[in-house]
A = this chain, B = another copy of it.
Amino acid sequence: MPKRGCTIWFTGLSGSGKSTVATGLVEALRVREVTKVEVLDGDVVRTNLSKGLGFSREDRDTNILRIGFVCELLARNGVVAIAAAISPYRSTRDAVRKQIGDGFIEVFVEAPLEVCIERDVKGLYEKALKEEIPQFTGVSDPYEPPLNPELILQTDRETVDVSVTKLLRVMELLDILPEGAPLLEAHEDEAVHAQLVAAGRLASRAEATQREKGS
């Protein structure tokens, strides 16, 4: 069981690896006996929550706010809610963060556009580049990367396993999961910690040590 619910909010280009990492996370949580987990990925949501919405800025925003609403309902009832939609606009993601509060964990799934185009799992980039799909994020519509996400995953340089392990570590450090055996290499652990400090979610280790000395 997690200590509390939360919302893991993946954001990144189509093909960056959001759903793949989300699936890996669900598996890893199951191993830790965390079974109250729901994934709201782009396809699930477009079918069940947002049928009829298009890809205009306004429709995309509505879609994202709606996913945020459902994540909030789930998370406040102890569920690990995982959103895996592109969510290209920074201000919209920030609105969801504000709405959800403390339980919001933004994970930037970063892969260079060239890599996503090369992967092209759904064949969408090919169509977008031929202008058969309008307003395609990264091609004909903007993607605004987060400035201070809780975690950055560079899926072109690390395995899904490493990405998932980093996610579990973030959940430990934010007191959502109990601490497990250390699984990351020291430098990776440092980097995860540093990113949470940059996101304003943790005190730096120097500060923490200082505080302990003082007490």
Residue interface bits A38-57, CB-to-B below 8 A is 1, else 0: 10000000001101100000
Confirm or deny: A154 has a beta carbon within 8 angstroms of a beta carbon on chain B: no
On chain B, the residues within 8 Å of A69 by CB distance are 48-49
Q: Which residues of B are found within 8 Å of A65, using beta-carbon distances?
A: 48
Check if A184 is an interface residue, CB within 8 A of chain B.
Answer: no
Q: Using known A-B contacts A38-B73, A73-B38, determine if residue A66 contacts B78 with beta carbons closer than 8 Å.
A: no
Closest-CB distance, A30 to chain B (whole angstroms): 14
**Closest residue of B by beta carbon distance from A37:** B77
- Binary interface profile of A, 130-146, with partner B (CB < 8 Å = 1, else 0)? 00000000000000000
Q: Which residues of B contact A74 (CB under 8 A)?
A: 73-74, 77
| Interface 0/1 of A55-88, CB less than 8 Å to B | 0000000100110011001100111000000000
Q: Any chain B CB within 8 A of the CB of A97?
A: no
Is the C-beta of A201 less than 8 angstroms from some C-beta in chain B? no
Choose one: B36, B49, B51; the contact of A77 (CB below 8 Å): B36
Asked if A66 and B48 make an inter-chain contact with CB atoms under 8 angstroms apart, the answer reads yes
- B66 close to A62 (CB less than 8 A): no
16 sample A-B contacts, Cβ–Cβ < 8 Å, listed by A number: A36-B77, A36-B78, A38-B77, A48-B65, A49-B66, A49-B69, A49-B70, A51-B62, A70-B70, A70-B73, A73-B73, A73-B74, A74-B74, A74-B77, A77-B77, A78-B78
Closest 4 CB pairs of A and B: A48-B69, A36-B77, A77-B79, A38-B73
